[in-house]
Structure 1
Amino acid sequence: MPLKASPADQALLLDLQQLDTSLQQLAHRGRQLPENQALAELDKQVAALRVRLTTEEGAAEDARRELARIESDVAIVEARVARDRDRLQNSSSQKDIQALEQELQALATRQSALEDVQLDVMDRVESSGAVVASTQGELDALAAKRSELDAARDVSLRDVESERTHAVANRETIAGRVPTELLALYERQRERYGVGASHLRARVSSASGVELTGNDLATVRSAAPDDVLLCPDSQAILVRTDESGI
């Protein structure tokens, strides 16, 4: 036996469908918040900067290690110079003095070369450190921006959730007024086809956007006001009102 429901009860389904559509839109809005898109782009920038920072920190560490090695070499040369000068002051052998003076001259040349390299490496340490600090500064700025976006997203989400809560409450109220069997059919059709109720306005089904003609229109015209009909195209419950044009 075909399902029967009063036109007033069937009209409630249009309000229910409107709320369900609003809930779908709110869910989509929650997923597609501009803050989420901005955060995703920000995370890409952060990831790229972290890769860059790792490379820069490696270069800075290499420069520091090289400087430490050169400083060690300089210290060794300085120690040998101090030792040779001490020996030179306490030596009475002309041969030893001549040898020590030659070694001191060679050590002076070595020390000068090392100190030149040391200055170059110190410049590298300073410049690489500045590069690391600059990139870290960019990361810190992005972290601050992310905090702001997180806060803005939370506000937007609260707004969406507030609207959703209101819509759910209204839906529960309206669903409570719909007869059980009619509501079950609505829910079943909505789950299967995405839309549970369609308003027939000027012979056009709102769910499908298609105008009813021929046999479909004749079936609608011949149906009793309390007959529950399905839209031939969308399979949603076809709700007739004074605007249906039949």
Structure 2
Amino acid sequence: MKAAPEDQAILLDVQRLDNDITRIAHRISSLQKGAKLTELGTTAAGLRSELVDATGKVEDAERDLARLESDTATAQARIERDTTMLQNVSSAKDAAGLQSELDSLQRRIGDLETSELEIMETLDVLRARVGDVEAKLADVEAQRTALVAERDTEIERLEGDRVSATQSRADVAAKVPDDLLALYERQRARYGFGASLLQGGVSTASGVTLTGADLQAVRAAAPDDVVLCPDSEAILVRTAESGL
């Protein structure tokens, strides 16, 4: 294929813009996947599970405390009833029976109150744990909210850059002859690069220095010959920098 050297040189601008568009697309994709957001989401899910567990233990302890308080109230009501009866009983045997029950009820209340104190101490610890988990969860959610806002702002900016680069690419590509552009697109689709500057004997697409034989073949080609890079298969653009 033949193409004017200046048309071949335009391909370097097309390639540069394609590289920019690809880089922007990768950056947007990376932001959308959001490794940090995923990490925070996993942390938040773990904290929610921990919060459910901690809250459940608080509720269980509160039910136990309520039961003990109810049992204490029942025992206290029986003490008040038995005390009233004891004041009015005339039989020594009945009085002894009531006094024995009162003594038993007092011991029962003592045991219940001890259990209540133990559960209240446990509740303090459990409620503190709930508060701690809630604080951690709130902090993680705040981080996620801020990160989402930053991500969306950055993606919006990148989308603008992509639109601009895509338009610039179209404007530049329009200056390239159709057959040359078609070859560029084909090589780029196959190998990742459509055009490569030969700079000081090095193909910038592959980063490889051309061998003596390859350089000799390039030197032998006419200026308007379209030459492919032997390593990257991109169109090898020759300029004054090529070292030929």
TM-score where L is the length of structure 2: 0.90
1:198 and 2:196 correspond:
yes
Q: Which amino acid aligns with 1:204?
A: V
Which region of structure 1 is more displaced relative to structure 2, 75-84 or 175-184?
A: 75-84
Give the match for residue 135 of structure 2. Answer: 137
- The answer for unaligned runs of 5 or more in structure 2 is none
Report the Cα offset of residue 164 of structure 1.
1.5
Question: Please, which of 150, 156, 159 is the counterpart of residue 148 of structure 2?
Answer: 150
Report the Cα offset of residue 37 of structure 1.
4.2
RMSD: 2.0
Which region of structure 1 is more displaced relative to structure 2, 74-83 or 4-13?
A: 74-83
Report the Cα offset of residue 32 of structure 1.
4.2
Q: Deviations over 1:80-109 (max 9, x none)?
A: 223323433443322111101110111011
Question: Please, which of 207, 210, 223 is the counterpart of residue 208 of structure 2?
Answer: 210
Q: Which amino acid aligns with 1:94?
A: A
Report the Cα offset of residue 211 of structure 1.
2.1
1: CA distance, partners of 2:56 / 2:89: 49
Report the Cα offset of residue 132 of structure 1.
0.4
Report the Cα offset of residue 126 of structure 1.
2.7
Give the match for residue 175 of structure 2. Answer: 177
Report the Cα offset of residue 166 of structure 1.
1.2
SS at match of 1:230: coil
Question: Please, which of 94, 97, 100 is the counterpart of residue 96 of structure 1?
Answer: 94
1: CA distance, partners of 2:125 / 2:211: 79
Poorly superposed stretches of 4+, deviation over 6 Å: none
1: CA distance, partners of 2:77 / 2:191: 89
Give the match for residue 7 of structure 1. Answer: 5
Report the Cα offset of residue 18 of structure 1.
0.5
Give the match for residue 225 of structure 1. Answer: 223
Question: Please, which of 66, 70, 82 is the counterpart of residue 84 of structure 1?
Answer: 82
1: CA distance, partners of 2:80 / 2:186: 96
- Between the two proteins, what is the percent identity of the paired residues? 49
Give the match for residue 118 of structure 1. Answer: 116
2: CA distance, partners of 1:173 / 1:160: 20
Report the Cα offset of residue 56 of structure 1.
1.7
Give the match for residue 43 of structure 1. Answer: 41
2: CA distance, partners of 1:141 / 1:208: 47
Q: Which amino acid aligns with 2:99?
A: E
Give the match for residue 71 of structure 2. Answer: 73
2: CA distance, partners of 1:210 / 1:148: 44
Q: Deviations over 1:149-168 (max 9, x none)?
A: 22222222222222212111
Aligned length, in residue pairs: 243
SS at match of 1:234: coil
Q: Which amino acid aligns with 1:185?
A: L
